[in-house]
Structures are given as structure tokens and as C-alpha cells.
Chains A and B, each alone.
Chain A
Amino acid sequence: MADAAGRGLEPLAHVVTTEGAEPLFQTGDAVKVAMRFPVGHYRVPTYIRGKRARVEAVIVPAAINNEDEGFGRNAGIKRHYYRIAIPMRELWPQYPGPEDDGLRIEVFETWLERS
């Protein structure tokens, strides 16, 4: 938490938060993008589905699932997006470039699994 001037505030103790208020994953966690193909427009490109990744950053604040918003549900529990890193070799096994080359992308919590 921070006020308008960016000064951090000490959180109060013993507050029970809503579901999704605390990030499920942390920086450094090994994750896997879910392999599923629901009907409709989803902002998880198919080329990353089923791929293993590492959480590089938790995006704050938590946000409404934009896929729900796309269907007119603009309220409800918020969850986090995560900036994840996926090696190019994981995406494309024949990738000819250096091993360190990689992709970064933000994925909503409901699309990530522990790996």
C-alpha cells in the first residue's frame, strides 16, 4: 500500500482479505500456462498455452478479469496478472538463437498452474 505521495503505509494486522486479494504466485515461482481452449476471445495467445514459465513480477493492483469484462461482467472479485518469462526454446524447440532469448507476457491468475 502507498499513499498519493508514494509513501508506504504499514498494513493493519489481522485483516481477512477477500479471495484473490493476495497474489497466488510470487516472483520466481515456476508456473505453467493452462492448456485449454474455451470458446470465445481470450487474451492468452494459443502459442503460450501449455508452456512452462517463471513468474518475473506480480502486477499490482489486482484487476477484474478482462475476459469477464469482455462479456459485460464488470464487477466482482479481482485477481492478479503476472508478468511471466518463457524461454524461446520452450516456445519453439527449434529456435536457432541463443538460449537466453525469451518472451515476456502478462497472464491472468486463472490461466496459471503450479509447475
Chain B
Amino acid sequence: MSSQAHDHVHLPDAGDTSPGYYEIMETAIRELLIDKKVFDAGEIRQMLEVMDTRTPALGSRIVARAWVDPAFRARLLANGRAAVEELGIDFFENTQLIVLENTDKVHNVVVCTLCSCYPREILGLPPDWYKLKPYRARTVKEPRAVLAEFGTVIPDDVEIRVSDSTSMIRYLVLPQRPESTQDFTEEQLAALVTRDAMIGVVRASAPAKEKFR
């Protein structure tokens, strides 16, 4: 960083640079599909609006509900999509959802080696690292090392199951409910469930004990 008063980096304004190859291709295909009346511009805008409302907060509510309601938990593990739809959260097209239950003996983690398949309906857009090649290539080969880099050390007597999300199925990890949360409300529990815990790279944990103060 320079010593000037200007102490932050400016990103270029969107639109300042000329469009790249794939941007031009996307524009051309979109305009063609609109011309052919496959869909209209309003439908694209509406889909963007839908996507913008889909965030990890939805996944957190699903997990918290499963922690407090054993019957819902059982339905969620039996048919993820149907149980999520009970909460009024709809899915795009034919996507199926498998919910992976973490236990004392099994830790699940999700990756998409081919691209960035992700349960966008309930978690929104994936984080950048999920889409980058190091995470995608290494998680199926050395999951314990990757998890350790996220600060998650899995004991050797806990089986690791890596789910590679490459076709029509999406996955949600159901983390273990942290200890000492028996008095928490469903809403307080939801606040403990992070995006990363639902991908499986960390555990859900009780509120931090201010260890960095």
C-alpha cells in the first residue's frame, strides 16, 4: 500500500472495460433467445431477483428446524427436496437434494470437481474458493489436508465422506448441533449455522468465546 492518503484500492466501475469473449457470447445467445420468444427480458430479471433472495440464511433455517424437530429431520434425510419445499422454498427444475448427516462417526464435505454445482436454491451463490481449481481438485484427493486448512481437524476414527456434486443432485450437509445449546431457540440455533458448515468445511459451533479480544 502506498503512503498516500488514498488507503484503499478502487475496483474499476463495471462497464469500464470492453466485454470479453464469453460476455459477448452470453449477450448474443440471450438476445437470440429473447428474439425467438423462448423467454423475455422480464423473466430474466425475475430470475435474478429470485437468486438474490436465496442466501445461506435459508439453509440455516432448514438446519435449525432439523435440530429441533426430529420428525422434520427424518423427512429431510429421506427426501431433501420435499422437506425443504414444506418450508415454502421452491427448487429450480428437476434438482434433487440429498441431505448428508454429520455424526460422531461420519463427517461429510461437498465439492464439485467438474464445475461449481451447488444448492443455490437454499445457499445462494457459491463462494469463490468453491469454484477454484485447488479446492475442486484437492478435496477429492486429500480431504483431510483441505479441511485442516479451513481449521477443521477430523480425528482418524471419524470417516470422511466427500460428495462430488456433478450431475442432477445437490447436497446440503446437516452439521451436528453444538453442545451446550439445549436452551437455544430455533432462531438462535439458525444463527450458529454458517454457509461453510453446510458445505462441510467447518463444524457448526457455539458462539465464539471472545478468544481474540
Q: Does A6 contact B82, Cβ atoms closer than 8 Å? A: yes
**Does residue A66 face the partner (Cβ distance < 8 Å to B)?**
yes
Is there contact, CB below 8 Å, between A91 and B140?
yes
**Complex Cα–Cα for A38 and B64 (A):** 44
Contact of B160 (CB < 8 Å), options: A59, A83, A101: A101
Is A63 within 8 A of B160, CB to CB?
no
Max chain B C-beta neighbours (<10 A), residue from A47, A97, A102, A108:
A97
A100 beta carbon closer than 8 Å to chain B: yes
Within 8 A of A (CB), among B114-139: 114
Q: Is B205 at the interface (CB under 8 A from chain A)?
A: no
Question: Is there a chain A Cβ closer than 8 Å to B194's Cβ?
Answer: no
In the assembled complex, the Cα of A96 lies from the Cα of B160 at a distance in Å of: 13
Given A45-B113, A63-B94, A91-B140, is A104 in contact with B159 using a C-beta cutoff of 8 Å?
Answer: no
Q: Is B161's CB within 8 Å of the partner chain A?
A: yes
Q: Give the distance in Å from the alpha carbon of A88 to the alpha carbon of B143 in the complex.
A: 10
Q: Assess the A103–B94 pair: CB atoms within 8 A.
A: no
Query: In the complex, are the beta carbons of B82 and A104 less than 8 A apart?
Result: no
Within 8 A of B (CB), among A94-110: 95-98, 100-108
A71 contacts the other chain (Cβ, under 8 Å)? no
CB of B96 closer than 8 Å to a CB of A: yes
| In the complex with contacts A6-B82, A105-B164, A81-B169 CB distance below 8 A | yes
> CA of A105 to CA of B82 in the docked complex: distance in angstroms?
21
A99 to B18, CA, bound (A): 52
How far, in angstroms, from A96 to B156 measured CA to CA in the complex?
Answer: 11
- Can you sample 30 A-B contacts with CB below 8 Å? A6-B82, A43-B166, A43-B167, A45-B113, A45-B166, A47-B140, A48-B164, A63-B168, A81-B167, A81-B169, A83-B98, A88-B162, A91-B140, A91-B141, A92-B141, A95-B141, A97-B156, A98-B156, A101-B144, A101-B159, A101-B161, A101-B162, A102-B159, A102-B160, A102-B161, A103-B163, A105-B166, A106-B166, A106-B167, A108-B167
Tell me the B residues contacting A by CB distance below 8 Å.
82, 94, 96, 98, 113-114, 140-144, 156-157, 159-164, 166-169
Interchain residue pairs A-B with the least CB separation, the first 3:
A100-B159, A105-B164, A101-B160
